[in-house]
Structure 1
Amino acid sequence: MKTFHWITLAIFCVALSACAQTTTTKSTTTSQTQMSTTSSKPQETTSSMSTQTTTQTTQAVSLLWDAQKKQELAAFMQTWGESMNQQYTSYDEAHSSNYAGLHFPADFGQYTMAVDEVTATIAWSTNGLGEADYNVVAVYCDVDGGTIGGHLYLFAFTQTKEPVVLITEQNQAMPDNRLHFTKTKNKELQAGFVQIARTPVVSEQTTTSEMTVAKLSQPIENSKLLAAKVWIKHYNLTTAQQINSAMQALVALDVYSAPSLQIWSTGVMINKPVTVITASPLAGGMVTYHNNEDGTVMDYPIPTHFQDKNWDDPVKGKQMANDILDQAKTLEISDISDELAEPLAKFMTGEISQ
């Protein structure tokens, strides 16, 4: 790939714009990957049937993308990027890329695009649906402001609802004044996106005229209140007195989240976002769970200590880690009241990402 001066990049962006038509430790217990510490939201949204009055006939809208798939793709891209010795950042409508002066998704529609040499329309979509040839639901790039060795990926759905990964490494204006993308030739990347994309999404019902939406369900957000409910259910604390006694025996309960989790150093991963609650002292317990966003969580029985020497055996350790995945249980937490969980939620420290 050639080296270009900033003035060349500026000329490249101007030329494209002028020709536009339309259109990121092994701990006492586990080894985590990129622990996040962003602000948690104060309340939990319960699963419910929320409808408005409709006066016209309705039609089903089958969505292709949602917040859960966005999280799954983020976890996948972290793992895949590490395997490629690359580090990717996700971009969306609130935070656009800066690849050779290309700010995507903000600048979609500002350049004439081509995919595999065929002129095409490319647009941002929050759910995978839209009128463009390629409706983009995620943008990932491994450079910020430069182009040398950089890769810009678009994760999109076609008009036939086929998931496809597009890539550009273009860093200068082309004679035809188009910005060129190609479909990725990396089979692992394409297959990973397809697997995530084809997970069913809850449909919405929309009217043909008044844009009234009846959402069949809403996600239950990850929060300290939810974490408190998981702890209560995991340790079968059924009364306020039991919860108060549990808190008096502890110094603290710390919560943190990660896009994925390696069990010890076995290479066995929980390849989905997880939240970990650890007691201080550690003998007080630990809970590791994935929020299913439907009133349930997946509870993984990861031990607080790895004193068994078999954990360090390449074969036995991996088998023990896989046993943990097999023994994971679904916990119903929607039956735990906010009133019962709130004191424990206030007792918790740390942050949970959304």
Structure 2
Amino acid sequence: MSKTMQAVEISKPGGPEVLTVTERPIPEPGPGEVVIRLAWAGVNRPDALQRAGMYAPPADASDLPGLEGAGEIVALGEGAEGWRTGDKVCALLPGGGYAEYVATPAAHCLPVPKGMALREAACLPETFFTVWSNVFERGGLRGGERFLVHGGSSGIGTTAIQLAKARGARVFTTAGSQEKCSACRDLGADLAINYRDEDFVEAVRAEGGAHLILDMVGGDYIPRNVKCLVDDGRLVQIAFLQGPKVELNFAQVMMRRLTITGSTLRPQSDLAKARIAEALRREVWPLLDAGRIAPVMDSEFALGDADKAHARMEDSGHIGKIVLKVDPGA
């Protein structure tokens, strides 16, 4: 096997054009790690933030972008348990996914669901880890509750709609076009609000309000989200596309016993991520195996066209997930 691989690196902070094809050494597995020969890699918003110089990787992570992928395990580090070389897996990655090979903790790998191609499996980890940990563990969504997720046509949104619906919630979402709203309804959303034409606060309150909101917009959505919540409602923040700073009347939070929380996935410990993987395998993978839920696919690009994939993501026209074809023969 060659000692080098093709990869895409960030030559300097900037737009999609700074993504450059390069050659790197194939990583070696550390203790508890596996090395995966990737067939496909998912493209996510944090990749674009890292590229722009706004989301630095952890000190011990690869500087290459890419937080999820799917392929075949080709090497095991000391103490890596539960897998053998030759196993097909999808995995949450600490970074380094825009490459032919990547190292990641064995405990962050999951089996490819029954009947699912590697292309689709590569889209599972980042969004499913994020949605499960924030909507169900941190947000405590229960069957029968009303759930609002913003950006319903995004990878996070399409995942959240399906999982919340499968677990018995009533699902509301926002999206920026009638086409996107239609796609959300097809996935099970009970109410899809075109935020360009309608005030989502009025629309959600007309339905009785939301028990839980998952938001990645931030900015002036934060006080508007608070207005949408029922008493004892919860707001979970996972990103700030419109900024993290806003004026908010916290008397509402206190008087109505609201909970405002949030998290980011990448800085969490390996153990915390392993626990999420265990929960996904137990609670969510049976739904994927049975075909009750599945990733929504938007488009694919060659590894060397990662810049075009980022441009597609940032123009916000996509519905579902964007992937890079790492192995041309996949």
TM category, shorter: under 0.3
TM-score computed with the length of structure 2 as normaliser: 0.23
Larger relative helix fraction: 2
Structure with more contact order per residue of length (Cα contacts < 8 Å, sep ≥ 6) = 1
Computing the radius of gyration from Cα coordinates, the structure with the larger value is 1
